[in-house]
Chain A
Amino acid sequence: MHVLSFGRRIFLTVNYTVLVLLACSCLLPFINVLATSLSSSPAVNAGEVSLWPVDFSLASYRYIVSNPAFVGSFGITLERVALGTAVNMLLTIMLAYPLSKDNRSFRLRTVYVWVFVFTILFHGGLIPWYMTIKMTHLLDTIWALILPGAVPVFNVILLLNFFRSLPKELEESSFIDGAGHWTTMWKIYVPISMPAIATILLFTMVGHWNSWFDGLILMNSPKHYPLSSYLQTVIIQMDYSQLKQEDIDLLAVISNRTTKAAQIIVGALPILIVYPFLQRYFVKGIVLGSVKE
Chain B
Amino acid sequence: MGIKRSNTLIACMLAASMLLAACSSSKAGGGEAKPESGGKPAEPAKTEQNGALAKYNPPITLHIARSSSQNWKYPKGDDLNNNIWTRAYEEKLGIKLALDWTAEDGSTYDQKMNVSIASGNLPDLFTVNATQLKQLADAGQLADLTEVYNKYASPLTKQNMNSDGGLGLKSATFGGKLLAIPSINANIYSPSLLWIRTDWLKKLNLPEPKTMQDVYAISEAFTNKDPDGDGKKDTIGLGLSKTLLNAGVGELNGFANAFHAYPTLWIKGSDGKITYGSIQPQMKAALAKLQDMYKSGQIDTEFGVKDTAKLGEDIASNKLGMLFGANWLPYLPLIDAVKKNPGMDWKAYAIPSVDNEPAKAGVAFPTYAYVVVRKGYEHPEAAVSMLNLYQDTRFKTPVQAVNPFETVEENGNRIETVKYAVVQSALGNDVVVKALKLLREALQKDDKSVLKDALKETDKFDPVRAFQKNGDMAYWSQGRQFNAYEVLLDNYTGDKLLTTEFGGRTQTMGEKWEALDKLEKETFTKIIMGTSSVDEFDNFVATWKKLGGDTIIKEVNDWLASQN
Contacts and interface: CB of A to CB of B under 8 A. Distances in A.
Interface stretch (B2-10, B195-203, B254-262, B268-276): B2-10
A233 interface: yes
5 contacts: A126-B14, A130-B115, A154-B5, A233-B108, A237-B307
A244 B332 CA distance: 14
B13 A126 contact: yes
A19 B12 CA distance: 34
A147 to B, nearest CB: 11
Contact of B100 (A203, A220, A248, A254): A220
A234 B71 CA distance: 8
A237 B102 CA distance: 20
B70 A234 contact: yes
Contact of A251 (B121, B314, B328): B328
B234 interface: no
Interface in B290-319: 307-310, 312-314, 316-317
A74 to B, nearest CB: 14
A47 B314 contact: yes
A47 B2 contact: no
Interface string B4-27: 111101110110110011001000
A155 interface: yes
A92 B419 CA distance: 47
A82 B175 CA distance: 54
A239 interface: yes
Contacts of A97: none
> Which of under 10, 10 to 19, 20 to 34, or 35 or more describes the interface residues of A?
35 or more
Given A222-B68, A240-B249, A255-B309, A153 B2 contact: yes
A241 B1 contact: no
A129 B17 CA distance: 11
A242 B368 contact: yes
The 8 A-B pairs of least Cβ separation, nearest first, read A47-B313, A152-B2, A240-B248, A220-B101, A241-B246, A233-B104, A46-B316, A149-B3
B48 interface: no
A273 interface: no
Contact of B10 (A125, A153, A220): A125
Contacts of B340: 42, 46
B336 interface: yes
Nearest to A257: B309
B106 A239 contact: yes
B21 A155 contact: no
Interface string A198-228: 0000011001101101101100111000000
A134 B497 CA distance: 47
B189 A245 contact: yes
A243 interface: yes
B104 A149 contact: no
B185 A245 contact: yes
Interface of B: 1-7, 9-11, 13-14, 16-17, 20-21, 24, 68-71, 80, 99-104, 106-108, 111-112, 115, 118-119, 121, 185-186, 189, 243, 246-249, 307-310, 312-314, 316-317, 326, 328, 331-333, 336-337, 339-340, 364, 368, 414, 416, 418-419, 426
A246 interface: yes
A126 B3 contact: no
A250 B331 CA distance: 10
A154 B119 contact: no
B203 to A, nearest CB: 21
Nearest to B426: A246
B276 to A, nearest CB: 16
Contacts of A220: 99-102
Contact of A213 (B11, B21, B100, B104): B11
Given A149-B2, A251-B332, A217 B104 contact: no
Contact of A249 (B13, B339, B368, B416): B416
A126 B71 contact: no
A238 B339 CA distance: 23
A204 B1 CA distance: 6
B333 A45 contact: yes
A127 B5 CA distance: 17
Nearest to B325: A240
A154 to B, nearest CB: 5
A151 B328 contact: no
B2 A129 contact: no
A47 B247 contact: no
A208 B10 CA distance: 17
A125 to B, nearest CB: 4
A252 interface: yes
B115 A127 contact: yes
Contacts of A153: 2
A255 to B, nearest CB: 5
A8 interface: no
Contacts of A250: 69, 71
Contacts of A42: 336, 339-340
A71 interface: no
A123 interface: yes
Contacts of B9: 123
A113 interface: no
A131 interface: yes
Contacts of A45: 309, 312-313, 316, 333, 336-337
A129 B3 contact: no
B308 A151 contact: no
B365 to A, nearest CB: 11
Given A46-B313, A233-B108, A240-B249, 8 more contacts: A47-B316, A125-B16, A127-B17, A222-B103, A245-B328, A246-B416, A249-B416, A251-B332
A238 B414 CA distance: 22
Nearest to A151: B2
Interface string A88-132: 100000000000000000000000000000001001011101110
